[in-house]
Chains A and B, each alone.
Chain A
Amino acid sequence: MMLRGLWKLTWIELKIFLREPLGAFGTIAIPVLVFVVTGRIVGHREPSASLAASNFISVGLPVLASVLITISAVLSLVTIISIYREGGILKRLRATPLRPQTILTAHVVVKLLLTAATLVLMVLVGKRYYPVGIHVPLFGFTLALLISTCSILSMGFLIASIVPTARFAQPIGAVILYPMIGISGLFAPVAALPPALQVVARVVPLTYAVSLLEGIWKGDAWSAHLGDVGALALVFIACTALSAKVFRWQ
């Protein structure tokens, strides 16, 4: 079978990640805490708030939190892959019948599991402590997030393939990924941006992820977001194909 060892590798990588200092706490607990605390601070300051503010609390902030969790998962993936490459771990794994795609798949599954765990916790904690009640089409939103995450992860592959050493992986990833949030339409509608930035925003995949996530969170029908899904799929296919070409194992 092509993916021989996938399940065992995934399970071990998950355990290894949770053994890292701050592994579970940093990945799962901190984002949830930040999300709830920010929500309460913003919520208290503007008790019955302007429309924009309450819209941000009920839709913008949850989507922002989801996007941040996804991006941090991607950065973590980029870092791990480059540490594994630099340390000769990838090379050692390669000197077995293990296929390269099995190694990558295992890491992606680990990241998806952790992302899912964080989001479930966020929703559960949010139901109790978030100022605005969270009533969200959970299945739809999970699916939307899965699509977005895969797409953003594929950009992570590409970064991981090109970045020379682990020391550069995190900062380069951050420099590429975080500014995308600013123009993704989360804080201001894309149409309100200066024309030059609008062009950039249309190219950046995060814009489509945000549009999809916000829409599904608010209860839009999937048919209204087929364009977003298509764009994200296109990014995924292009980045995966490209990184398969340029990926260095040592």
Chain B
Amino acid sequence: MPPVIQVSAVRKTYGATVAVDEVSFAVNEGEIFGLIGPNGAGKTTTMECIEGLRTPDRGAISVLGLNPFSDVYKLQERIGIQLQEAQLQKRIKVWEAVDLWASLYRKKRIDGERLLEQLGLIDKRNAWFMNLSGGQKQRLFIALALINDPELVFLDELTTGLDPQARRAIWDLVRGIRSRGKTVFLTTHLMEEAERLCDRVAIIEHGRIIDIDTPQSLVNRHCPERTVVLATDDGSAAERFRTIPRVDAVTCSDSQFTIRGRGDDLVTEVIQCLSENRIRVTDFRTILPNLEDVFLKLTGHSIRD
């Protein structure tokens, strides 16, 4: 099956600033693909080139087999877009927006009222846009992005500015989109969001893609370190821990031990060591690397900086 999105060596500049350069990747049908990176890394520019809203200076893009620049109206019929920091008319009512959007598409579309119901907006159908909360606005934008029953959905910084509860609710909605067989392309600067939501991610910084893979593979490849922190009064513990394979360091302060090593088996090995030597522990926890650590490792700075 050909990829849903194929991006090859795309470059886009604004004056003297190079926004994205040599960006290449492919998105497969039915996956949630995340473009992750700090603000200003080129996420939105890349996404808007794919959506046909911007024209790249160089490179080739194919979306659903169409050229997003020459076939922009054909493409818009088949995709759904949620833009970062978009607004609607202040005094447009929720149902009017859905009704208007539904009238813009040629093809069959889904029932707007049902969509509002699914997104928990049915109580707000007569509310003005300006009176909606941040989470409600985002859900309305998701509704508008889904109104034409698109094959491919674009979500740009979907949960920025939302509280954790609203964020989780939106994540469930996005998973729901995937389970209906659609492809989702999203950008985020929230590593937790990427980790929990995306099947595959591309890390972008300074307009260039650094690596692409599943979140787990990225972590395994770039951050194999594992850390176990435990507390025990056993005097011989430190000696025993040092004999575990692939342990790099054991440090101890008071009765708390920190065991650093590499590989997925480290935690199991530590537990085995504890049980074989009948070491009694009063506390036990693991510190596992995540995408945040991958980003730090690859770029030398935190994504929040």
Contact = CB atoms under 8 A, between A and B. Distances in A.
Whether chains A and B associate is: yes
Interface of A: 4-5, 8-9, 12-13, 15-16, 19-20, 84, 87-89, 91-92, 94-99
Contact of B96 (A12, A88, A89): A12
B103 A5 contact: yes
B89 interface: yes
Contact of B104 (A13, A16, A20, A97): A97
Given A19-B91, A97-B77, A91 B104 contact: no
Contacts of B81: 95-96
Interface in B48-92: 51, 53, 73, 76-77, 81, 83, 85-92
A83 to B, nearest CB: 9
A4 B104 contact: yes
A9 B85 CA distance: 22
Given A5-B100, A12-B100, A97 B105 contact: yes
Interface in B98-148: 99-101, 103-106, 128, 144
Given A8-B99, A97-B104, A16 B51 contact: no
Contact of A16 (B89, B106, B144): B89
Which residue among A8, A12, A92 has the maximum number of chain B CB atoms within 10 Å of its CB?
A: A92
A8 B100 contact: yes
Interface of B: 51, 53, 73, 76-77, 81, 83, 85-92, 96, 99-101, 103-106, 128, 144
Given A5-B104, A95-B51, 5 more contacts: A5-B100, A12-B92, A19-B128, A87-B87, A96-B101
Contacts of B92: 12, 16
A103 B128 CA distance: 20
Contacts, number: 60
B96 A95 contact: no
A9 B96 CA distance: 10
Per CB-CB distance, the 6 closest pairs between chain A and chain B, nearest first, are: A87-B87, A95-B81, A92-B86, A19-B91, A5-B104, A97-B76
Nearest to A249: B53
A20 B90 CA distance: 9
Nearest to B99: A8
B100 A92 contact: no
A72 to B, nearest CB: 20
B101 A91 contact: no
Contact of B83 (A16, A88, A99): A88
B76 A95 contact: yes
Contacts of A12: 89, 92, 96, 100
B284 to A, nearest CB: 50
17 contacts: A4-B104, A4-B106, A8-B99, A12-B92, A13-B89, A16-B90, A16-B92, A88-B86, A88-B87, A89-B86, A91-B86, A95-B51, A95-B76, A95-B83, A96-B81, A96-B104, A97-B77
Contacts of A96: 76, 81, 101, 104-105
A189 B268 CA distance: 98
Nearest to B84: A88
Nearest to B147: A96
Given A15-B96, A97-B105, A92 B76 contact: no
A98 B86 contact: no
Contacts of B99: 8
